[in-house]
């Protein structure tokens, strides 16, 4: 899914700050902040981006407790995930607990765990 495809209607002209953890990087710890994040490498820990988007790319392996507004999983994620919207692409792999308002699991994606649908996202 391209960055333009993940945007909601009306977001096309908005420029939001974003950061990226590169493909060759391995990080353990806590990430929080006021911008979107793209993970390409390996991350273990906690991510709190309650009002921002998280994209887990095909090359990424993430083991974490995550809170983010929108989460797009193209790589591997293991852990707890709380979000308004979650999209697991055909290349995505998710294991764990998922709590979200909207969940989309594409054909070919792998999912093992629990899903709880909540009507309202509360960061």
**1 sits in which H/E element:** none
**pLDDT for res 14:** 62
* Chain-centroid distance, C-alpha 121: 15
Residue 6 within a domain: no
Residue 5 resides in a domain: no
pLDDT tens digits, one per residue of 8-59 = 444 444 677 899 999 999 999 999 999 999 999 999 999 999 999 999 999 9
Per-residue HEC secondary structure of 6-60 comes to HCCCCCCCCCCCEEEECCCCEEEEEEECCCEEEECCEEEEEEEEEEEEEEECCCC
Q: Please report whether residue 99 resides in a domain.
A: yes
Residue 85, in any domain of the structure: yes
Instruction: Report phi then psi at 110, rounded to 5.
Output: -110, 130
Total domains, the chain? 1
Q: Is 98 contained in some domain?
A: yes
Judge whether 9 lies within some domain: no
Q: Is the pLDDT assigned to residue 2 strictly greater than 50? A: no
Q: Report the relative pairing of strands 42-56 and 61-73 from DSSP bridges.
A: parallel
Q: Which domain holds residue 73?
A: 19-117
For residue 30, tell me if it sits in a domain. Answer: yes
pTM (two decimals): 0.86
Residue among 112, 4, 120, 113 nearest 69 (CA): 120
Write down the pLDDT at residue 51: 94
Q: Where residue 76 falls among pLDDT bands split at 50, 70, 90? A: very high
87 within a domain of the structure (yes/no): yes
């Amino acid at each position: 899914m391209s960055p333009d495809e993940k945007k909601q209607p009306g977001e096309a002209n908005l420029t939001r700050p974003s950061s990226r953890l590169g493909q060759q990087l391995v990080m353990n710890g806590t990430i929080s902040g006021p911008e979107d994040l793209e993970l390409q490498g390996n991350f273990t820990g906690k991510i709190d981006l309650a009002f921002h988007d998280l994209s887990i790319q095909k090359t990424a392996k993430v083991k974490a407790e995550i809170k983010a507004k929108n989460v797009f999983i193209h790589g591997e994620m293991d852990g707890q995930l709380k979000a308004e919207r979650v999209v697991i692409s055909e290349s995505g792999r998710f294991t764990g607990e998922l709590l979200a308002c909207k969940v989309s699991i594409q054909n070919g994606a792998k999912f093992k765990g629990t899903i709880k649908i909540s009507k309202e996202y509360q960061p």
